[in-house]
Amino acid sequence: MSANATTPDVIAAKAPRAGVGGRAGRLLRGALRTRRGQIGLLLTLVVVGIAFLGPLFAGNPTALHGGPFEAPGGQAGALGGDSLGRSVLDRVLDGGWRILLISAAATAMAIVLGSVAGVVAAYRGGFADTVIMRTVDVLLGIPSLVFVLMLLSVVGSHAWLVIVGVGLTQAPQVARVLRAAAQDVSERDYVKAVAAWGVPPRTVIRRHVIPSLLTPLMVECALRLSFSIILVASLSFLGLGTQPPTADWGVMINENRVGLAQNVWGVLAPAILLATLAVGTNMFSDAIARANLSSGPAGDPTLQMALSASNVAEGDEPVGLEAIDEGSQ
Amino acid sequence: MAPPATAEVQRPPESEEEEGARWWQSPIAQMVWKRALLGILTLVLIAVIVYFATTVLPGDAATAILGQSATPARVAKVEAELGLEQPVVQRFVEWFGHAIRGDFGTSLSAAAPVGSHGGSAKEAVTKLVNEKLLNSVVLIGVTAIVSTLLGILAGMYAAFRRDGVFDTGGSVAALIASALPEFVVAIFVVMLFAVNVFAWFPALSLLPPGESILSHLNMLVLPVLALVIVTTPYVFRMTRGAMIEVLDTDYVEFARMKGVSPRKIAFRHALPNALAPVIQVVGLNLLYLAGGIVLVEAIFSYPGVGLALVEAINGRDVPTIQYIVLMLAVFYVILNIVTDVGVLLVTPRRRYPRS
Amino acid sequence: MSAADSGAGAAASGRRRPEVEVTDLAVRVERTEVPIVEGVSFSIEAGKTLGLVGESGSGKSTVAVGLLGYARRGLEIVSGTVRIGDTDILALDQKGLRGARGRIVSYVPQDPAAGLNPAHRLGPQLREAITAHEDLPKEQLEERVTELLESVDLPPTKRILRSYPHQISGGQQQRIAIAIAFACRPRLIVLDEPTTGLDVTTQRHILATIDELARVHDAAAVYVSHDLAAVAEVATDTAVMYAGRIVEQAPTARLFATPRHPYTAGLLASAPSAEEAHRLVGIEGHPPRPGNWPGGCAYADRCPRALPECRAAVPKLVEESPGQLVRCINPVPTEATSEVNLAVPVPAAVAASALAVRGLVADYSGTRVLHDIELTVPLGQTTAVVGESGSGKTTLARCLVGLHSSWQGEVLLGDRTESLRQAAAARSSEELREMQYIFQNPFGSLNPTMTVVENVEEPLRHFKRLSRSERRARAIEALETVSLGAAFADTMPGRMSGGERQRVAVARALVVEPSVLVCDEITSALDVSVQALLVEQLRDLQMERNLSMVFITHNLAVVRSIAQNMIVLQQGRIVEQGSVDAVLGNPQHPYTRQLLEDLPRLEARAGSRQVA
């Protein structure tokens, strides 16, 4: 920082750069300070670890090891055999990474598409807004799962199509949230103040609006990932995602549920992993949203204002508010 | 100019009866008109998407319907049936014209007409699907009633005992339940109540043909339970949040200062003001259920529209797919209007504008 | 407390037993046990009003609701008694409390728009106030409701009973709230800032109604307010609160004439007067937050009379002069004469104008909101724009700076002969730089995601080509001119108080060296001691830099203090204009006269009663 040259060291030492990266980090750290955030991240990391490291330890997931639904501990390994006599353990270890990669790609697509559409709709207004929001409405008019199923049923099951389909169903939500947030921010006095200097709209958006959208964007990322994982796994379960005989947690649950009474692990193991992953990502997104509530400067402007406005009002709450909220979780 | 001294005691605005406004000028009617028009536009656009996604996307429709191993002769026959040699737009217009008159063509699925006519008999898509509609309506309806009541009561209780054991436990349970994929929930429900732990209910809802689900209520329990588990958390969270916010307002404080009883504070002063977001979330839940029944019906082989859709997709039965997806879209549009009217009804500020 | 000096009944029976007696009320945060209010005691006789004065965070509102045995969420009443008549409110159980609230002691909320339930019509809300305590047959109930409405000067029509709260005006809402509070003829009525946010005329009417009702019912009242003048007008006795404790308490006239606690004296010195312009002496620093109360006197850190002993222990509330209790070991002497020069420096009169507005008309979504506005700001002087809510004064400000663009007419900046363009985007960079706008709400006008210094640097980025270090240096310099200095540079606005933020906003405007400042109600969200500091700061800057200002406000006393010229707006039209001395000294238009007459003032009571 060149500013150091002209200012005393004392100040430079405690100067936090308020860049976007810095605030994202602060928000994440805030989330990790909550119990919910810690548990959420832990659960997510455990499942992600199993999904990506699993293949290194897995035997051949399509090899046959005896009769169907063999009890655990036999030829088929610690978790027994599946509907065709393959090792449940090997298939569980190999069956997660595709879901994760596909979900991550779909989430990325949804976030990029949705946030661009949302911000453009908020800023262009008028015709662009109408077109974008109509499209959003239309896409929301078909349930996500049904929409992707419809695409897959005709074109056939391809990973890229799952990504595009899931991305398309998640993008409208992102667009809605970001459009609302951008509109909200642009109504604030500090944005108007900049407009009163004659600063061009493009600069206003880049310097003042986009940084304020960071919080909703991060919450959306985690939330959309969570939904994408569910959708992708559901598609596999219905037989339209990953195709047999490739190992996949969703596929496994479907294949092995007829043998629940003989070997419960063929269903239970992938179900537990999927459940843990979904709960983990969801808890983490919840923790980010909450971190925003309690964090000071990095926080969402809306909430900051609500909190500080009570300071101006003649009521004597400020005391209560802060004292109380700091204590909780 | 009125002297300032009396300016303050201005006339209160006319109440709605005296305004002389026609009913169709009321905010509700105006909103319904506007929404209905927008809804129709949305439906037309959805119809375009559905039609093009199912018939024009890469992956030739006839082959898709018949599978890769189809003989050229059969492919040609199906193509002729679908009218594939005509231009796309003309085909769409024709299809759409039939569709709005309720004619979606005949089912292409070989499995569909199990009835008396024998193997190759064609059944109207609408007839085949409508037979299953009631079962799905029962499933969605029962789920919605149970999850709404449960969610509102639990949410209110948690808000009143904020940070208590029930509130903390309930919030964690809601977080977990709302995160779980519904097919995983359904599988857990099957394991727990049908196969591995208790064997209280059937794992599959195999309804004898021609009978109503209402005469086999035991088959309804597990599908409903699975859907209630995934939908209730949303109602619970929203009710709790809205109630907490309302309980912190000045008017609830003022009501307490008047010496109003806690029960009246809860149901008369707080709840009506918390209803708007709750109605919205119930609407969202119903929309969600429209998609959620697909997985749950598939798992329980529950004879409803969702299962029909999965079967149609597996059998590449394009007309059936088109009909069901459009039906879901109509449901979406109508439900959106109903939700908005509901919100308007519980928000006097918007119902009677200050003029 | 002073002996009864009026009241026929009192004279006969000698000394009356106080109707309300509060002893040692203490409230704290439940979880952390941090005290919010401590050792509050007072008594009120029937028919009398106690004013409870304090700035934000002083605990006055907490005491107010405590009188109803109520603690806001997260707080708890730990000790004390509140005796009203023969009932000890704090000894009651939940059921007993419900019976007492509204019947023995009732409450008028601060913001009636928020206090009335938006989901119900007014009729049921009024009826409920009665039926919560009495079972009345329908006819009698309706009779009582009619009576109540008439007692607060509202027409008892079906129409008003069938209205929703949002359909009536703020003044009417407050009347309904007062009617509810008096519904069961309580012995004590607690008014929590009942006129904040209302226009002075409405405020005057509301205060008169309360006075009348309290007299008719012979009820005691507690009037909580941050507005010294309003308290001076309604209260027989006044208690001043600071950091959760009463620091001074006396008959109102005596308190305002001869304040003994340095904080009371400071508050009075901060308050501007509509009668004459004098320098406002604010109080530097801010009150300690609960949890950070110092060991001794909480005011010691800001007190000009502080002694080392002040920090040793909390001083006792002692009777310094008859009827005047003061919590201070070094009170202000009674014969204190101010040695500070309070004369206001006046900018030299000049012919040149910094800003001239000719024939401005403006529309807001199709309706004309400003008609034919003429306004001149002489170079280096301040012109005030005065009006109540809805007068169009903020729209005028936004037209000037180009945030509102549907207007016609001429706005001439400096010695230019051509009018500014309507929208900011169409104006030249130089024009935009020369006129800077400061927003009303200091909590919304700074970007919360940037540090203080980054906020101040923002206009420099746009108007000047400077190196990074040069920019920062200039921004810090601007912060220093508003006495914030480099220490605040890297904090986030979210961590600052309202007064500090407003100073940052001033610094941000000054950093580009404008010639005209447009200040839109910039002190209305601030406490009076903070307002004084900001006003004086602006005055000094104006003298130093020959700044010209358009000062928009509803507060006539502030106008007297800072402006040389003024216009009075009513419903978008100028009804009176001229020099401040002329307009306020000899108002011509009935509207201006009314505004001045309705303005509550400290002098009224302090002057008249003191002599007697």
Residues B179-192: what's their mean pLDDT?
86
State phi, psi for A291 to the nearest 5 degrees: -60, -35
Q: How far is B229 from chain A (nearest CA, A)?
A: 14
Instruction: Specify the pLDDT at position B21.
Output: 54
Instruction: Specify the pLDDT at position B18.
Output: 44
From chain A residues 256-275, the ones with a CB under 8 A of any chain B CB are 257, 260-261, 264, 267-268, 271, 274-275
Nearest-by-Cβ selection for C439 from A5, A193, A316: A193
pLDDT greater than 50 at residue A13: no
pLDDT greater than 70 at residue B1: no
Instruction: Specify the pLDDT at position B62.
Output: 59
Contacts of A299 in chain C (CB under 8 A): 448, 494
Contact B261 C98 (CB under 8 A): yes
Residues A99-112: what's their mean pLDDT?
92
From chain C residues 108-127, the ones with a CB under 8 A of any chain B CB are 109-111, 114-120
Six token digits for residue C387 = 């009006």
Instruction: Specify the pLDDT at position A4.
Output: 35
Q: What is the pLDDT of residues A278-292, one digit of tens each?
A: 889 888 888 887 776
Sheet holding C573-579, edge to edge: C435-438, C516-520, C548-553, C382-386, C565-570, C573-579
Instruction: Specify the pLDDT at position C465.
Output: 85
State the count of interchain CB pairs (< 8 A) between A and C. 164
Out of A56-70, B80-94, C106-120, C510-524, least confident range:
B80-94
pLDDT greater than 50 at residue A7: no
Q: pTM (2 decimals)? A: 0.80
Contact C424 A188 (CB under 8 A): no
Mean pLDDT, chain A, integer:
76
Contacts of A141 in chain B (CB under 8 A): 42-43, 46, 329, 332-333
Residues B79-107: what's their mean pLDDT?
74
Residues B207-229: what's their mean pLDDT?
81
Is the pLDDT higher at B352 or at B133? B133
β-pairing verdict for C220-225 and C237-242: unpaired
Q: What is the DSSP letter of A74?
A: B
Contacts of A328 in chain B (CB under 8 A): 163
Neighbours of chain C (3+ CB pairs under 8 A): A, B
Q: How confident is the model at residue C52 (pLDDT cuts 50, 70, 90)?
A: very high
Q: Are the C-beta atoms of residues B253 and B270 closer than 8 Å to each other?
A: no
- Residue A260's contacts (CB-CB under 8 Å, 6 or more residues apart) are A267, B190, B191, B195, B196, B203
Q: What is the pLDDT of residues B300-348, one digit of tens each?
A: 888 888 888 888 888 777 788 888 888 888 888 888 888 888 888 888 8
- Residue B143's contacts (CB-CB under 8 Å, 6 or more residues apart) are B224, B227, B228, B231, B289
Instruction: Specify the pLDDT at position B121.
Output: 47
- Residue C110's contacts (CB-CB under 8 Å, 6 or more residues apart) are A313, A314, A315, B250, C61, C192, C193, C194, C196
Angstrom CA distances, A139 to A152, A168, A179, stand at 16, 8, 16
Q: Using the structure block, give the residue that is written with the tokens 């939908």.
A: B231
Instruction: Specify the pLDDT at position B122.
Output: 61
Instruction: Specify the pLDDT at position A317.
Output: 27
Task: Tell me the C-alpha distance between C353 and C124, whole Å.
Answer: 58
Q: What is the pLDDT of residues C130-174, one digit of tens each?
A: 998 888 899 999 999 999 998 888 888 888 899 999 888 888 888
In the three-class reduction of DSSP (H, G, I as helix; E, B as strand; rest coil), residue C88 is classed as strand
SS (H, E, C) C222-238: EEEECCHHHHHHHCCEE
Q: What is the pLDDT of residues A236-249, one digit of tens each?
A: 888 887 887 888 88
Instruction: Specify the pLDDT at position B354.
Output: 63
Is the pLDDT higher at C244 or at B59? C244
Neighbouring CB atoms inside 10 A of C91's CB total: 12
Neighbouring CB atoms inside 10 A of C404's CB total: 21
Nearest-by-Cβ selection for B53 from A154, A226, A271: A154
Nearest-by-Cβ selection for B321 from A153, A271, A282: A153
Q: What is the pLDDT of residues C483-496, one digit of tens each?
A: 887 888 888 887 78
Half-sphere exposure of C90 (CA within 13 A, CB side): 21
Instruction: Specify the pLDDT at position C221.
Output: 93
Q: How far is B152 from chain A (nearest CA, A)?
A: 21
Residues B216-220: what's their mean pLDDT?
79
Interchain contact B35–A (C-beta under 8 A): no
Q: How confident is the model at residue A11 (pLDDT cuts 50, 70, 90)?
A: very low
Q: What is the pLDDT of residues A18-53, one digit of tens each?
A: 455 666 777 788 788 888 889 999 999 999 998 888
Task: Tell me the C-alpha distance between C486 and A206, whole Å.
Answer: 27
Contact C119 B256 (CB under 8 A): no
Q: How many helices (H) does chain B have, and how many strands (E)?
A: 15, 0
pLDDT greater than 80 at residue B250: yes
Q: What is the pLDDT of residues B272-311, one digit of tens each?
A: 888 888 888 888 888 888 888 888 888 888 888 888 888 8
Task: Tell me the C-alpha distance between B3 and B1, whole Å.
Answer: 6
The alpha carbon of residue C280 and the mean position of all alpha carbons in its chain are separated, in whole angstroms, by 16
Residue of C nearest to A198 (CA): C425
Contact B5 C115 (CB under 8 A): no
Q: How confident is the model at residue B96 (pLDDT cuts 50, 70, 90)?
A: confident
Instruction: Specify the pLDDT at position A19.
Output: 52
Q: Using the structure block, give the residue that is written with the tokens 């909190």.
A: A307
Q: What is the pLDDT of residues C413-425, one digit of tens each?
A: 988 888 999 888 8
Out of A300-314, B178-192, C358-372, least confident range:
A300-314
Residues A127-150: what's their mean pLDDT?
86
Q: What is the pLDDT of residues B21-43, one digit of tens each?
A: 566 667 778 888 888 888 888 88
Residue of C nearest to B244 (CA): C73
Interchain contact B244–A (C-beta under 8 A): no
Q: Using the structure block, give the residue that is written with the tokens 């609230």.
A: C101
Q: What is the DSSP letter of A65?
A: -
Residues C104-127: what's their mean pLDDT?
89
Q: Are the C-beta atoms of residues C329 and C320 closer than 8 Å to each other?
A: no
Q: How far is B345 from chain A (nearest CA, A)?
A: 23
Instruction: Specify the pLDDT at position C325.
Output: 92
Q: How far is B1 from chain A (nearest CA, A)?
A: 34
Residues A190-217: what's their mean pLDDT?
85
Contact A15 C469 (CB under 8 A): no
Out of A202-211, C331-340, C527-536, least confident range:
C331-340
The alpha carbon of residue A236 and the mean position of all alpha carbons in its chain are separated, in whole angstroms, by 20
